[in-house]
Structure 1
């Protein structure tokens, strides 16, 4: 068995949410060992976080530059292999570029950066330094998402004509961002989140899922962005018509003010021969509907699954697998990528650039008078 890869984390200290999810996911398959971090810019909070995780205090810092310098100075058989970035969006690019230039691989929360320009700078740093960059588009790690992608790729649905994706949450229905909720506050602050609120936070997940499963790039969008909570500075409700490269049509809806909703990510894809449906809140079921025969239900671990999709599962049929396992599949793929092993591709630079271009196209479309706004990849095309 290959040695465990060494991981450090930027952000994700006490009071944070997503850092703990990353740590659970990275640990699940035994590929990674968390050895250090800069968990907060507050020295006390960062060191308390490190102590709670049982880390060597000499490898816990409150400044990323100090962490990277310390790790780079250590012997090759001791220093970290990769940095996980689990901070607000405005820190993604400077942290990723610094880590890549220091010689470390990077696993980053989405969205990739604050702009396409920043995303390009990350891509250039990864290429120049020969390091891997991965993104936490978690839902791509679900086994039945991979199953849906495989069935579409082999032509089961025929020519793809329609893609519908929605991601509904209700947690920002009240002005909790103005009432001291830290998770809400940074996500609705343009200086920390970027030009998209709900759009950047969960709209990017919906967009990535639609493109990844259908295998089709979105060519143009016609967007409507709304802010329903008074005083909020970024969108909290998003809708768009989509046009795909092959002529297929689609819709994307994302909302964080859909009161009562939890984590309602749902995808439907229809082709000339049939359609499929997958829901994140019932992730172990894929429904297939046909033009000329009865509907089918594919269950995780059940008969008929694509071999690569089935390889993402860890338990026998009927044992629920979900969010942590999907996240762990990305960390497992990231480890395989670093080791040079053969593994299904995980989201990376190309996905990040696409989603940043999507955000910018959506904002431009909503603010402009044109009916359609193209997703312009510019130099990255």
Structure 2
């Protein structure tokens, strides 16, 4: 049987949307995916206009995601979409994912997974009940040297992990100038973003990166979140002390009001045998540290790497790889997972290094726990994945 492209639909990501275009570029990079349909906007005409710009046939540029799932499910099996990419504001993630899964389609969603933790827990039940695949685009896990860092920790190169420091700072919301723009307006709106702006948008990425590389789970936190720019209803900056399930200590800093910073994501992990450091601003370099030898800079594509890092490396050494390639690695792995699913082979998220429903739950729990810890008068709040009522 000839191998064909995996057929993708998209909800959201229409005219003027930043992240939708990024998803499409990432999906297209390996030539394994074809965008066949979409409900690109809640405005039916804008959805159709967006589809026209993307060369989608008019009959497959839908007025709503409900219409798309119904009509795609009625198409022949070898023609209908196989999975949907969800690139809407947060408040729509759950209803769209629920409808897609129940209509028989796999889901790859932008983060955070849902509007709140209760929805993430409900979504886990739906994923289990439908038996369909669910993936989450925690993009930064896709970098080759992030995977190599995870390998070094897992193989004991750093020894027992004792300290984790992760930072994600941006400056684009340092004043109110951007508040009315399309990218900011929904992020600072509690009705669309949920209970957090900064932690829900970028802090959750930092927390996921720390847990992914170390293999540890956050077990407690002491948080200070706030709105620096007057008038904002949600946090735009935060500092969190962390404890992990092996008693390691940690610090997580996330800020969208750090003037001049771009997407400054940085991770440092320390153990009793050594440490490592990685920054998204220099993603092709991983610094390995020791108390009794000079620091070593590991460069993407130079020397031996673990299989996951090798598979994620796309170009020869010295050719910079970045955000789009890391994003594409998530899509590439999800496509492999879909192919395994259809071949009735083992296809767990762990098998294919795809963030899934477990990461979705922990991400939403991180957001809710960080807000709760910041509002609490207690010094330490135990991290829980139980939804608050």
- Between the aligned partners of 2:273 and 2:3, the Cα distance in structure 1 is 45
Question: Given the alignment of the two structures, is residue 352 of structure 1 paired with residue 360 of structure 2, yes or no?
Answer: yes
SS at match of 2:84: strand
**What is the CA distance between 1:174 and its match in structure 2?**
1.2
User: How do 1:112-191 and structure 2 match up within 5 A?
Assistant: 112-178=113-179, 180-191=180-191
Q: Moved runs in structure 1, 4+ residues, more than 4 A?
A: none
What RMSD, in angstroms, separates the aligned Cα atoms of the two structures?
1.2
1:142-197 alpha-carbon deviations (Å, 9 max, x no partner): 0000000000000000000000000000000111354x211101000000000011
User: Aligned residue for 1:284?
Assistant: 284
Q: Deviations over 1:51-74 (max 9, x none)?
A: 111111101112111000110010
Q: Alpha-carbon deviation of 1:126?
A: 1.1
CA distance in 1 between counterparts of 2:117 and 2:44 reads 32
Greater Cα offset, 200-209 or 169-178: 169-178
Give the equivalent residue in structure 2 for 1:375. Answer: 383
Distance 1:134 1:238 in 2: 27
1:251-266 correspondence to structure 2 within 5 Å: 251-266=251-266
Aligned length: 378
Determine if the alignment matches structure 1 residue 58 to structure 2 residue 59: yes
Of 1-10 and 272-281, deviating more is 1-10
Q: Secondary structure at the match of 1:222?
A: strand
Which consecutive residues of structure 1, in runs of 5 or more, have no partner in the other structure? none
- 1:71 paired to 2:72: yes
1:215 aligns with 2:223: no
- Which residue matches 2:204? 204
Judge conservation of contact 2:187–2:197 (CA < 8 Å) in 1: yes
Match of residue 364 from structure 1:
372
Q: Tell me the equivalent position of 2:31.
A: 30
SS class of match (1:187): coil
Q: Does structure 2 retain, via aligned residues, the 8 Å contact 1:308–1:344?
A: no
The C-alpha deviation readout for 1:217-267, integer Å capped at 9, x for no partner, is: 010010000101111110000110000000100000000000000010000
Deviations 1:256-285 (A, max 9, x none): 000000010000000001000000010000
TM-score by length of 1: 0.97
Compute the displacement of 1:2 (Å). 2.8
**For 1:344 and 1:160, how far apart are their aligned partners in 2?**
25
What's 2:295 paired with?
A: 295
Q: Deviations over 1:90-131 (max 9, x none)?
A: 000000000000000000010011111100111111111110
Q: Please state how far the C-alpha of 1:19 moved relative to its aligned partner.
A: 0.2
CA distance in structure 1 between the aligned counterparts of 2:197 and 2:307, rounded to whole angstroms: 38
Secondary structure of 2:283's counterpart equals strand
Contact 1:97 1:121 in 2 (8 A): no
Query: Post-superposition shift, 1:378?
Result: 3.5
Structure 2 CA distance for aligned equivalents of residues 187 and 299 of structure 1: 36
1:314 — aligned with what? 314
**Contact 2:334 2:352 (C-alpha < 8 Å) held by counterparts:** no
**Where do 1:222-261 residues align within 5 Å?**
222-261=222-261
The residue that corresponds to 1:97 in the other structure is: 98
Partner of 1:337 in structure 2? 337
Equivalence for 2:11: 10
SS in 1 for 2:318: coil
Distance 1:165 1:371 in 2: 20
Unaligned residue ranges in structure 2 (runs of 5+): none
The answer on whether the counterparts of 1:168 and 1:254 sit within 8 Å (CA) in structure 2 is yes
**By how many angstroms is 1:344 displaced?**
3.5
Q: CA deviation at 1:200?
A: 0.1
Q: Is 1:10–1:85's contact at 8 Å kept on the other side of the alignment?
A: yes
- Name the CA distance, whole Å, in 2 between partners of 1:146 and 1:175: 37
